Chain A
């Protein structure tokens, strides 16, 4: 699932204030004339209120567009479970409070079977404990880097944290510009 499918480019010009939820999977969810396609799973109850998306390999590959994550988030998706994610997409998820969970392919196949047997059944993700609870009670652990976990749990102001290093950045710049004196910043064109 690539970012063009998650949100086609023509919606990336829309103001964020109105919400991007309606743009999620737009070309799959809506038929001609922008009518909802009743056959698309996210247009059917109970999936209209889905909070967890279970997906295939290399989820979110393609462009850097953060709109893909805004669309998931604004639709109500809090967590995506997949065998692998594109690197840029993972970073964008963490920046916007969407949890990417990597599970092995067989574990995802087993989860899909359960979800198909009992449509609308519940999957519970505990980020603090790093577990996924399947509808049948099976518990599965997952890995997440500590800094990403902290950012998702605590909603940290990353810029504020980095600016605590402002003196180190200034020292670095001085040394760097001395070492590479030909790197004059560009002047306004």
Chain B
């Protein structure tokens, strides 16, 4: 009998090509890139090197695509630099033969939405990407993480990556989440608990009854936020929920290959008795709907709480950071979160722009009216079509929300969808750092249902107090 192994170790072992001091050469199943790492393609061309396995790299136009006026494709992008980024990815894809989901592709969308929804992320895979939120794919029991442009170049040229063994951290969420509490709230609660660097050097396995009860899209939300706790990757053991989600998707195994793949995937979970370097246990029933008040994701609290007083923080570095954050956010300690007036709402991003997210938001919005500008940006064309087939776009539009075209949009503002300086945005995205949504922008991270409730009330709202929730 071999020693019991973690899921993380099994994926690493499955992909190890070679070893050298302190590092493993791992084979990469898929490499996913957006418009950003043009440096990698430029460098490869300069060095006269080819892409080794073009069919295993996928390029997505998501960061720089506009969310309105898409009829003309890239030619319709007014900003020449943004247009250049979208067109450069297309040119690099044409030159190197990588798979390209360009601006006019019928399945265009955010890379971390499109890739899994097409059934490309499988349990046991090793997936790297040019974006830190590549860790989203860990929801399938894959080892998935983001790397910089130089390492993307290395993967393009070799289909492998030198990798340092991360420490194994297990976070078990026992019990069950209460009504009105979702994966976004859980993710923020975990970051508050372990800190922004709590996952540093680690791969996190999420376990426990509350995690096993999450549907696939909620698992993607949870794994997506793993990088915000400083961890390389987050994984959830594949189970019936995973298999049911994958079955029949375009790139899932078909026919006789299905039972064979499924049997293999079932062997990828952590063995009984496998050890983790550290363990954290969280009571799922205690998790509240969460909102960030500061400029990092661990500066968050329950929506029913008040902004904490930095003076009461014992760690001096933490206190200084909180004082800076509150000054930037224009907020005072002791303010009730629900008293904070909001200027606009963004529902979208690789964290929260899948069909279930839009359904959660629409349930709150139905029959109500938005008091502040609110935009809904579906994660992909596939999500958009599915939402429209259910009439969700009508629910949002009749409540005064804008219904837009897929892309990263106001999460990072690369396409020009920005929050003006000094304005306060309730956002379903993943980052609230200074200037993230535009210079001087103030971000409050929330779940889709909470964002919808906030749009209706004009203040940070507790979704549990809304009629439709």
Contact = CB atoms under 8 A, between A and B. Distances in A.
Contacts of A58: 196-197, 200, 230
A132 B145 CA distance: 32
Interface string A86-107: 1110011001100000000100
Interface residues of A, number: 53
B150 A162 contact: no
B47 interface: yes
B235 to A, nearest CB: 16
A187 B264 CA distance: 24
Contacts of B132: 62-64, 88
Interface of A: 2, 4-5, 8-10, 12-14, 16, 27, 56-58, 61-66, 69, 84, 86-88, 91-92, 95-96, 105, 145-147, 158-159, 162-163, 165-166, 168-169, 172-173, 176, 180-183, 185-189
Interface stretch (B78-86, B172-180, B207-215): B78-86
Nearest to A1: B433
A180 B264 contact: yes
B73 interface: no
A176 B159 CA distance: 13
A151 to B, nearest CB: 10
Interface stretch (B99-107, B300-308, B444-452): B99-107
Please give me the 9 A-B residue pairs with the lowest Cβ-Cβ distance, nearest first: A185-B55, A95-B150, A182-B253, A92-B148, A182-B257, A66-B148, A58-B197, A64-B146, A66-B149
B53 to A, nearest CB: 7
Contacts of A92: 148, 150
Contacts of B435: 4-5, 8, 27
B230 A61 contact: yes
B281 interface: no
Contacts of A186: 55-56, 58, 99, 120, 251
Interface string B46-89: 01010001011010000010000000000000000110110000
A187 to B, nearest CB: 7
Contacts of B394: none
Contacts of B412: 9
Given A4-B434, A88-B147, A165 B164 contact: no
B312 interface: no
B22 A147 contact: yes
Contacts of B107: 189
B46 to A, nearest CB: 11
Interface in B151-190: 151, 153-154, 157-160, 162, 164
